[in-house]
Amino acid sequence: MRRRSFVLAGLGALAAAAFGWLRLRRRRSEHTPEAIEADLREYFSYLEFDDEVLHAFMRDLARLPGRLHRGDVRRRFLLSTDFFVNGEDERRALKYRAFCDPYLSPCYSPFV
């Protein structure tokens, strides 16, 4: 192996490792409670909800083992409120009902 090839291979490996580290670091920062709260506030900016609704959801979410994908967190947030129970009325302020976890309460369905 030539010296130039060896150096280029080393630089490529170093770049790949740096990219992986930065991606892992960004992914970890997405799962902080502050980042999740900010994402929920931004994504559901058209809905009105009190800070206590969000804090209650975050408290229950912290008890869940493992991490959820961003879309799953958003879905569970809406299912944990009375949004669907009250006919998906976007003008009403959301109230927190209970944390929606299909493994803890499999029979709970807000659509019934």
Q: Dump pLDDT digits (tens) for 3-20.
A: 778 777 777 777 777 777
Amino acid 56: pLDDT? 92
- Counting as low any pLDDT under 70, the low residues of the chain are 1, 21-30, 105-112
Amino acid 29: pLDDT? 47
Amino acid 68: pLDDT? 77
List the Cα angle 67/68/72 in 5-degree steps: 170
Residue with tokens 């709260």: 37
Amino acid 110: pLDDT? 61
Cβ proximity of 96 and 58 under 8 Å: no
DSSP assignment of 40-84, as one string?
A: HHHHTTTSEE-HHHHHHHHHHHHTSSS---HHHHHHHHHHHBTTT
- Give the predicted TM-score (pTM) of the model: 0.65
What separation in angstroms does the CA of 60 have from each of 5, 53, 64, 101? 53, 11, 7, 10
What is the distance between the terminal CA atoms of the chain, rounded to a whole angstrom?
68
